[in-house]
Amino acid sequence: MPRYALQIEYHGAPFAGWQRQREQPTVQGAVEAALARLEPGEHTIAAAGRTDAGVHALAQVAHCDLARDWSAFRLSEALNYHLKPAPVAIVACARVADDWHARFLALQRRYLFRILMRRAPATHQAGLVWQVKQDLDVAAMQAGAAQLVGRHDFTTFRSTICQADSPVKTLDRLEVTRVDTPHGPEVHFDVRARSFLHNQVRSFVGTLERVGTGSRTPGQVGEALVARDRAACGPVCPPQGLYLAGVQYPEDPFASPDV
């Protein structure tokens, strides 16, 4: 059966997350339903990572197996037709080796988180950012973030329902920058690692936002990490500012995209 890699963009607001759930709309469910319109029967796709309810994706990667030998262009066009009107799009498609796996071959996942800093309510960016009304101290947030980079026990920044075998992960990058946009200043978090714990990124951002307001010092971020205690974590931030922004593989399956 031919295997295809799919690069998927979606707006997470209408969905209960990526993973298929009974009686709940999910991104995986939407893509699998579209596949069933092309080739009747049950379809199961595997993705690079699972996103929670309300979380978006700029470049989620998944793979699927089909009975027919589709051209990548026709497959993506057909899927996008059947995905309408759901806010999900196949932005790239490529034929891959039969043993290629979207999850197990991934070397790094990259997440973007956006905070909009302005008092006026968000209009065009509503549902796409976490909005705060005050300016945040980005330099202090970056100082706090620097203490989280590296290999650590991230128990403090792990959801109590996280199913990972170990809280020890290697965080490759956590950069905090201010970005001036036409709708107002934003704080962007560029977060990269091979894998993440449940709610890890949102726990980072919620804690660092407290540093940005002055409620915590940068040094207290390191103290929270060392505590290995969920109670030491700041509030978990809302999901709407979070995006799965990219997945790195040993070889980019979309380097010579068919779409």
Dihedral-angle region of residue 158 (phi above 0 means left; psi in -120 to 50 means alpha; beta otherwise): beta
Can you say whether the dihedral through the CA atoms of 98, 243, 152, 233 is positive or negative?
negative
- Rg (the chain; Cα; Å): 19
Q: How far apart are CA 91 and CA 60, in angstroms?
A: 10
Residues sharing a CB contact under 8 Å with residue 102, sequence separation 6 or more, in sequence order: 5, 46, 47, 48, 61, 62, 63, 247
Which residue among the candidates 52, 172, 190, 229 is catalytic per the annotation? 52
Specify the residue for token string 């010579």: 256
Q: How far apart are CA 29 and CA 43, in angstroms?
A: 9
Nearest to 172 by CA among 149, 202, 195, 141: 149
Give the H/E segment covering residue 137: none
Can you say whether the dihedral through the CA atoms of 117, 122, 126, 132 is positive or negative?
positive
Question: Is 99 among the residues known to form the active site?
Answer: no
Active site residues: 52
